[in-house]
Structure 1
Amino acid sequence: MTMRNRAHFPRIDASASRASIGSNAVWAVIGQGAGQILSLLFFLIIARFVSQASFGLVAISLAIVEVIRRLLFDPVASATNARGEVTDSDYDLCFNVLLITGGLGASMLMLFASEVTRLVGSPDAAPVLRVTALILLAMSLAGTHGAWLARAMRFRALAIRATLSVVCGGIVGLGMAFAGYDLWSLVAQQLTINLFNVVTLWISASYRPRPIITLGGLRDLWQRVRHISLGAAWNSIASDADLFIVSAWFGPTVAGVYNAAKRIMLSANLMLGNAISSVALPTLAGIPDTKARGRAFLGGLTMTSVVTAPAFAGLAATSPVLVHLLLGPRWHAAAPILSALAASGYLLSLAQFASLTLIVGQRTHFDSMTSALAASANIVVMVVAARFGPVALAAAFSTATLLVLPVRMGFALNALGLGWDAALTAILPPAVAAGLMMSALLAISAEFGEHLPPILTLASLIAIGMLVYLASLRLLAPRLFRSTYDITIEMMGRRKLLV
């Protein structure tokens, strides 16, 4: 192996500084957070000028694109970054495979858009899908460089890129929405974001691809990808089946309302859960010792629960005032849907962490099996629940997520030689504290709503919720409260040094 082919990514020592890992988590959260907050902000503004039906049609088209991305692109990038040592040749293979599959995928969607949208029960989305198919080509050009930057722990560059791309896309979308382009303003926004991603990722990463593909490399990549890809297919069915069912059952307008609620939930999930996961994959992959990896897993699982449990509990409790404030009274039907979906956001963040462990531990077949179970459970419960309306369907989505989580978590714990007692010790205290917080907020939210403007009501509920959560966590798990406080201070100190 030549030095030219070797990618210089350090292996993470078992005793790596919590502050070093924490600083990367901070930048990952900043990148995901800023991008999601800005994206949500632009969505909230555009929602006042674009019809709900247009949101539904674009949501269906983007969901189809996302299914292909998860099935073809993410497994290749994840399998490449999950290697203990990665070379430039590995990234060359990754880039060329993504480029070929992206080009073919975009072409097939353009040619068969009518058939695909008819298959998912939304034939009116065909013209939109023909245009949004171009996003696949942009994703294929950006995927390898994003993976390279993540493996190099250059989350600051990723954070800046995410923020700028959303701003540019938002400006284009807003301008077209103001000009009356309705549906096509949403399409242009997404195209701009993904095109800007390609440009900024190529500028940020020093890696430059070469047109090299070897049969040996393809065979090795296939061995790594096949179970991840199969799991991604099942995960796509599990995560997007509700939107397809809503669109087919109730039409694009209700699908637009449902998607608005789910977008708020997913924004929180991406900002928190995915940010943690983006740091966890290269960190866990760089720890060769199983016991040390197990300790890192439990620490990461604890912090995931500490951060995401109160966020989604608060989202469920404050959804009526939040939707009214952000989207306006025209979207009030999204509030109960958001409350029903909030639990799935927390559960998915835990499931993501377990999946990363199975990928790093080369046990992707277990993750694939669990994803198949999740997809089957989701379809069954949602088909039954759909006749009772979109709120029942959202509750069914959360229920199915809860039923499958123990299976995925069990496989991850077994791979690390850990027991359920360790996992429950990591998960339950923050979850119980968040439950107490949600109960308190539900008890007092009606009283606040009668006397304060929406923005003051939301601010008051957030402040009270934080106090109740921290007090509950301090009472239920004082050691966890103290360690969380110490890590936060350590991360803040590291953040100052980086700035």
Structure 2
Amino acid sequence: MPTAVNLKSVTNNVGWSVLSKTSTFGLKFVTVPILARILSPQEFGVVAVAQTVVMFLTMIGSAGLSASLILEAEEDDETVHSVFWVNLAVAIAMAACIYLWADSFAGFLGAADAGYLLKIMAFLIPLQLAGDVAYSLLARRLAFQKDAAWSVVSESIGALTAVGMALAGFGVWSLIGQLFVSAIVRLGGLFYASGYRPRFVLSMAKVGALTKYSLGIMGSEIFNFITFQSPLVVVSRHLGLADAGAYSAANRFSSIPNQVLLAGLMGVLFPVFSHMSNDTRRRSDALMLSTQVSTVVLAPMMFGIWAIAEPGMLLIFGQQWAYAWPVLGLLAVSKGIMSPCSTYIPFLKGAGRSGVLWWVAVLRAGLVYGLVSYGVMTGGLVAAMVWLCVANAITLVFYSWAVFRTNGTAFLSGLYVTTRPMIAAIIMAVAVRFLIDHIKTGLPGGASANAIWQVLVGAAAGAAIYGVLLLLTERDLLRKLVELIRQRKAQPAGAGS
């Protein structure tokens, strides 16, 4: 591989990647509540349903061939150009299918009014897939600072476009404008940052050599997409666009901490684990450490959102969305349960185990779809979110078993070590929720001011409680991190792996 991997190079790239995701999702933290106060739940719902189809086909198109370039020992120009043209041809074919059968897709998803939006959003697919090869070249070179800069620029311009159009009265078109502007800017930025310029070179033999791995990745991404998007489809079909809009708004917000860390880690760890393909001990140590650290950071955020969901929903989204606070809280819990799994996908991809990824994704998709559907039909939106939590708890167990088996780690000890920070986060969240329930009537101000106080007190108490629990339960991990920080300061970024 062209770039040496050591502690400093990995942490530098994780830092850049997380910084970009923090910036872009920080924009969502600001823009989603603004747009939620301007637009109606129905408008959010119709765009969310239409975007589901586009995201699904984009994920299929980008999952395999471009990712396989990261595992290649060398950057072969013929292979790179061939993957670009095959990706582009697939993207155009997918866009044409959406455009021609947009009304049928929308009707199937329970949102017949979204057909006209689907026709327009079909053009997003070539815009998004055309940059995949350029991104893969940056990833294999561990040049995430370049990708980070263009991610921030594209998302910032898109967010400003959305808010400006919404304030100008464009309604649902403000969300469409955000998607297109961000996609166009990011595409140009990726080509500029990577230096990649497509040439018409096509070797189907080169593409064929990548298909075994890429088909496994593509299959897993299809079922991962079903996992992530099926709740929205089920809610839309059975409960209507208003509940779909409530789910979409709550899911967008509760996903911010999750996606900041996951997107930042997964993008970097995949090429890092692939660099370590010939050093299984080193890769195993990296898996356990990165899983522990990601859980320590992510779990308290997600369970903390559950603890302050009621005042938080009112404060951030406004009175018209306040009724949906249980949805926000339960969605955060469902994501918090999966926090130890943050590193599993990049580990399996980097280890070349696309087959394991595929069958785990199939099992998870079936669980989520089945249990959420049961919840919707028996108890409505809140019950569906409870069953989503149950599905994710089951997924955590069998996903951990599959990864630890691949890694050669004892299942029970591995599960205990990686979930211990999550258990501490759950204890913290329950304590904060108990505290808020008993002091909220005594806090000053009207409804909005009282909600602010609840959030502030809850956040301060949660940080203090979780800090104490970490000192009690994760002293070995904290000592290891301090030692790694010292090693990092003494290690030049360009040192050998």
Normalising by structure 1, report the TM-score.
0.92
Is the CA contact (8 Å cut-off) linking 2:367 and 2:391 kept in structure 1?
yes
Deviation at 1:193, TM superposition (A): 1.0
1:385 equivalent in alignment to 2:375? yes
Provide the rounded CA distance (Å) in 2 between the counterparts of 1:326 and 1:135. Answer: 30
Supply the AA of the counterpart residue of 2:138: L
Deviation at 1:11, TM superposition (A): 4.8
Supply the AA of the counterpart residue of 1:295: D
Aligned residue for 1:438? 429
2:477 aligns with one of 465, 468, 480: 480
2:313 aligns with one of 320, 323, 342: 323
Deviation at 1:138, TM superposition (A): 0.8
Listed one character per residue, the Cα deviations across residues 321-349 of structure 1 (whole Å, up to 9, x for unaligned) are 22111111111123111111113223444
Provide the rounded CA distance (Å) in 2 between the counterparts of 1:292 and 1:149. Answer: 24
Cα distance change of structure 1 residues 60 and 238 upon mapping to structure 2, 3 Å threshold: same
Cα distance change of structure 1 residues 432 and 123 upon mapping to structure 2, 3 Å threshold: same
Provide the rounded CA distance (Å) in 2 between the counterparts of 1:418 and 1:291. Answer: 11
Aligned residue for 2:230? 241
Cα distance change of structure 1 residues 370 and 251 upon mapping to structure 2, 3 Å threshold: same
Provide the rounded CA distance (Å) in 1 between the counterparts of 2:104 and 2:489. Answer: 52
Cα distance change of structure 1 residues 243 and 484 upon mapping to structure 2, 3 Å threshold: same
Supply the AA of the counterpart residue of 1:243: L
Is the CA contact (8 Å cut-off) linking 1:29 and 1:271 kept in structure 2?
yes
Q: Which moved more, 1:377-386 or 1:484-493?
A: 484-493
2:322 aligns with one of 319, 332, 338: 332
Cα distance change of structure 1 residues 336 and 488 upon mapping to structure 2, 3 Å threshold: farther
1:307 equivalent in alignment to 2:300? no
Provide the rounded CA distance (Å) in 2 between the counterparts of 1:105 and 1:199. Answer: 22
Aligned residue for 2:2? 9
1:412 equivalent in alignment to 2:403? yes
1:64 aligns with one of 42, 53, 58: 53
Aligned residue for 2:182? 193
Is the CA contact (8 Å cut-off) linking 1:445 and 1:461 kept in structure 2?
yes
Aligned residue for 1:77? 66
Deviation at 1:75, TM superposition (A): 2.5
2:365 aligns with one of 363, 367, 375: 375
Aligned residue for 2:195? 206
1:129 aligns with one of 118, 139, 142: 118
Q: In structure 2, the residue corresponding to 1:47 is in which secondary structure?
A: helix
Cα distance change of structure 1 residues 435 and 494 upon mapping to structure 2, 3 Å threshold: farther
Is the CA contact (8 Å cut-off) linking 1:84 and 1:286 kept in structure 2?
no
Q: Which moved more, 1:298-307 or 1:91-100?
A: 91-100
Aligned residue for 1:3? none
2:96 aligns with one of 103, 107, 128: 107
Aligned residue for 1:267? 256
Provide the rounded CA distance (Å) in 1 between the counterparts of 2:149 and 2:19. Answer: 9
Q: Which moved more, 1:231-240 or 1:93-102?
A: 93-102
1:280 equivalent in alignment to 2:269? yes
Provide the rounded CA distance (Å) in 2 between the counterparts of 1:210 and 1:448. Answer: 66
Cα distance change of structure 1 residues 75 and 455 upon mapping to structure 2, 3 Å threshold: farther
Provide the rounded CA distance (Å) in 2 between the counterparts of 1:422 and 1:219. Answer: 41
2:388 aligns with one of 389, 397, 412: 397
Provide the rounded CA distance (Å) in 2 between the counterparts of 1:486 and 1:259. Answer: 42
Provide the rounded CA distance (Å) in 1 between the counterparts of 2:73 and 2:338. Answer: 26
Cα distance change of structure 1 residues 333 and 212 upon mapping to structure 2, 3 Å threshold: farther
Is the CA contact (8 Å cut-off) linking 1:75 and 1:225 kept in structure 2?
yes
Q: In structure 2, the residue corresponding to 1:66 is in which secondary structure?
A: helix
Q: In structure 1, the residue corresponding to 2:38 is in which secondary structure?
A: coil
Provide the rounded CA distance (Å) in 2 between the counterparts of 1:494 and 1:335. Answer: 47
Cα distance change of structure 1 residues 485 and 398 upon mapping to structure 2, 3 Å threshold: farther
Is the CA contact (8 Å cut-off) linking 2:299 and 2:339 kept in structure 1?
no
Provide the rounded CA distance (Å) in 1 between the counterparts of 2:129 and 2:87. Answer: 5
Is the CA contact (8 Å cut-off) linking 1:301 and 1:426 kept in structure 2?
no
Supply the AA of the counterpart residue of 2:150: R
Supply the AA of the counterpart residue of 1:119: F
Is the CA contact (8 Å cut-off) linking 1:94 and 1:144 kept in structure 2?
yes
Cα distance change of structure 1 residues 459 and 23 upon mapping to structure 2, 3 Å threshold: farther
Provide the rounded CA distance (Å) in 1 between the counterparts of 2:493 and 2:25. Answer: 24
Listed one character per residue, the Cα deviations across residues 310-331 of structure 1 (whole Å, up to 9, x for unaligned) are 1111111111122111111111
Is the CA contact (8 Å cut-off) linking 1:82 and 1:359 kept in structure 2?
no
Q: In structure 1, the residue corresponding to 2:343 is in which secondary structure?
A: helix
Aligned residue for 2:281? 291
Cα distance change of structure 1 residues 350 and 476 upon mapping to structure 2, 3 Å threshold: closer
Moved over 4 A (4+): 485-497
Aligned residue for 2:12? 23
Is the CA contact (8 Å cut-off) linking 1:166 and 1:193 kept in structure 2?
yes
Supply the AA of the counterpart residue of 1:41: V
Deviation at 1:495, TM superposition (A): 13
Q: In structure 2, the residue corresponding to 1:182 is in which secondary structure?
A: coil
Provide the rounded CA distance (Å) in 2 between the counterparts of 1:163 and 1:316. Answer: 28
Q: Which moved more, 1:302-311 or 1:394-403?
A: 394-403
Supply the AA of the counterpart residue of 1:117: A
Aligned residue for 1:358? 348
Provide the rounded CA distance (Å) in 2 between the counterparts of 1:482 and 1:445. Answer: 33
Q: Which moved more, 1:214-223 or 1:78-87?
A: 78-87
| Identical counterparts, % of pairs | 23
Listed one character per residue, the Cα deviations across residues 102-139 of structure 1 (whole Å, up to 9, x for unaligned) are 11111111111011111222211111111111111110
Aligned residue for 1:87? 76
Is the CA contact (8 Å cut-off) linking 1:354 and 1:412 kept in structure 2?
yes
Provide the rounded CA distance (Å) in 1 between the counterparts of 2:150 and 2:201. Answer: 27
1:346 aligns with one of 323, 336, 340: 336
CA RMSD of aligned residues (A): 2.2
Deviation at 1:234, TM superposition (A): 1.2
Provide the rounded CA distance (Å) in 1 between the counterparts of 2:485 and 2:260. Answer: 18
Is the CA contact (8 Å cut-off) linking 1:429 and 1:473 kept in structure 2?
no
